[in-house]
Structure 1
Amino acid sequence: MLFLFNTCSMKASMKKLFFLFVPFSVLIACVNHDLNKTFDCSLSDLTLDVSAIAAATSCSTTDGSISVIASGGKQPYVYLLNNIAQPSNEFTGLHAGIYSVGVTDANGCDTLLSNIMVMAKDFSFTTILGEDNLCLGNNGSVTVEVSEGNPPYQYKIDNGEFTESNIFTGLSNGNHVIEVRDNIACTISLNVTVPRGTTGTSWSSDIQPIMEKSCALSGCHNGTTRLDLRIYSNAKKHAAEIKTLTRNRSMPFDGTPLTQNQIELISCWVDDGAEEN
């Protein structure tokens, strides 16, 4: 008896059978942090520039302004003042103070300009910033110098109390709010950004051991189904994404979660330029 087989149907059936026998762990490994899905913002040409700053007429008025111009990237843009979304690139109704301004584009890339000063005609100030160059500690600093106005002045930072000291030390990199108050109770807020200095975090001593122990697991970033993150060139290429995914704790997908210190070390290494050191 002669039997005729539909070879196309056989191939399709065999594919289905193969799929059924693929280990479930292989199918789900790493699916929530595929390093090749996100736009690489290191390639973006998004820029932001300050085009004009207008001083407030006095310490107590809200008539200062900042204007910025964004270009490059992918429109539409979203503008931010002190990390709060704004309807346009013209920031008006401002007290005297220090501000950060930013823009985010449709690719999810952003750029930020920190420590933009809006003076008052009767209240001028300057700041001296010291870098925070400790990864697992804080040694940034801010010194505020006030001229004109109505001395003596008092100062406080974040949730602290007003004191006569205008020097703040032991600060983490990032945003801090310093308030300055004069002797007629006029207060201005300075949204100061302490810069990140180079921390010297090491690929070979600090980062590669984390990749070997926590990220290069069976079926996940060990070179079998995903990029081998134990190899420096692979980790370097995807450094920004690794920082993002470890900070939001979606990486590693399986195994023991990273400690906060390990997450900070990865961030410091990336911020230092992801060097092979």
Structure 2
Amino acid sequence: MRRLFYFSCSLFILTSCVYHDLDKPVIDCTIAGPSLTLESVTPASTCGSLDGRIHVVAAGGEQPYTYLLNNTAQSSGDFQDLAAGIYSVGVVDVNGCDTVITNVIVAARDFAFTAEVTKDSLCEANSGIIVLSVEEVNPPYTYQLDNGVTAASNTFMTVSHGDHTVTIRDGHDCMVSLHVTVPRGITGTSWSTDIQPVMETYCALSGCHNGSARVDLRNYNNARTYAQQIKSMTEDRSMPFDGTPLKQSDIDKIACWVDDGAPNN
């Protein structure tokens, strides 16, 4: 009996807001995180060859570092044996603080290209634009965004923010894969109109984030302090811990507000 009672109490405690882990110390990665410098880029010798190279150098933050090439981890900032393409390179320190350099171009001597990228500045729709320019050595060229239709147009409209794969194929059937990142622009999502009502309705419940047991998320300064954690925990739906789940539109608005810099607007 005693053992069963203990288990039941433990289960009750673990599902209460007391264990809502939002009050742990916050590391400000904008101050304490690493920096990353693009030292050099070596082009591939030909389309299809694997001899391009990107070299980056990290500083600051707290070592050891983990380096990333298109989200694939390695221990060194020297990325070798690369095909022509566009890459994202980054570094993550031991505290999880990261810095990323996006849209690094490794051209080939017979396949040169550039990418003009416009930010996505809408919260609940897409406004990003990708325009590719290719030095026409072996025309005709075709273009494909992600798993979309292959076409002759080098322009993609209404693209969402984030990482995309653009495939270019030339007249000799040589294919180059570009890892293009569309940045998030300022969306104008409002704390007072869009975010505070969500905190008041879904998060500041009795004994949970209303100031009585945990930090009061109706207060702007508190919400600003924990903005990144709130974004992460609402996106993986671990927050709100109890009560009515958030609508996807509310989760998206929180992400937009945090990506905007969590302004008091």
* TM-score where L is the length of structure 1: 0.88
Q: State the shift of 1:88 in Å.
A: 1.6
CA contact (8 A) 1:32 1:250 kept: no
1:153 maps to which of 125, 128, 141: 141
**In the aligned structure 2, how far is the partner of 1:26 from the partner of 1:85?**
34
With 240-249 and 97-106 compared, the bigger mean Cα shift is at 240-249
- Residue 40 of structure 1: aligned partner: 28
**In the aligned structure 1, how far is the partner of 2:150 from the partner of 2:118?**
21
**In the aligned structure 2, how far is the partner of 1:126 from the partner of 1:220?**
51
- Residue 65 of structure 2: aligned partner: 77
**In the aligned structure 2, how far is the partner of 1:44 from the partner of 1:195?**
23
- Residue 118 of structure 1: aligned partner: 106
Alignment pair present for 1:226 and 2:226: no
2:94 maps to which of 106, 122, 127: 106
Q: State the shift of 1:30 in Å.
A: 4.5
Alignment pair present for 1:202 and 2:215: no
Q: Which amino acid aligns with 1:266?
A: I
Tell me the C-alpha RMSD between the 2 structures. Answer: 1.7
Q: State the shift of 1:86 in Å.
A: 2.0
**In the aligned structure 1, how far is the partner of 2:213 from the partner of 2:36?**
39
Q: State the shift of 1:41 in Å.
A: 2.4
Alignment pair present for 1:62 and 2:50: yes
Structure 1 consecutive aligned stretches of length 4 or more whose deviation exceeds 2 Å: 24-28, 32-43
**In the aligned structure 2, how far is the partner of 1:205 from the partner of 1:245?**
21
Q: Which amino acid aligns with 2:101?
A: L
Q: Which amino acid aligns with 1:48?
A: L
- Residue 137 of structure 1: aligned partner: 125
Gaps of 5+ in 2: 1-11
CA contact (8 A) 2:90 2:99 kept: yes
1:190 maps to which of 169, 178, 187: 178
Bigger Rg over Cα? 1
CA contact (8 A) 2:33 2:93 kept: no
Structure 1 residues 208 and 60, CA gap change in structure 2 (3 angstroms): same
Q: State the shift of 1:29 in Å.
A: 1.1
Gaps of 5+ in 1: 1-23
Deviation per residue, 1:136-161 (Å, 9 max, x gap): 11111101010143111000010113
Q: How many percent identity over aligned positions?
A: 52
Task: Specify the SS of the correspondent of 1:201.
Answer: coil
Task: Specify the SS of the correspondent of 1:33.
Answer: coil
Deviation per residue, 1:179-199 (Å, 9 max, x gap): 000000011011000111110
**In the aligned structure 1, how far is the partner of 2:45 from the partner of 2:258?**
43
**In the aligned structure 2, how far is the partner of 1:122 from the partner of 1:257?**
53
Q: State the shift of 1:32 in Å.
A: 3.4
**In the aligned structure 2, how far is the partner of 1:240 from the partner of 1:157?**
30
**In the aligned structure 2, how far is the partner of 1:40 from the partner of 1:29?**
25
Task: Specify the SS of the correspondent of 2:20.
Answer: helix
CA contact (8 A) 1:208 1:230 kept: yes
- Residue 49 of structure 1: aligned partner: 37
- Residue 248 of structure 2: aligned partner: 260
CA contact (8 A) 2:34 2:59 kept: yes
- Residue 9 of structure 1: aligned partner: none
Structure 1 residues 51 and 259, CA gap change in structure 2 (3 angstroms): same
**In the aligned structure 1, how far is the partner of 2:81 from the partner of 2:15?**
54
**In the aligned structure 1, how far is the partner of 2:16 from the partner of 2:85?**
50
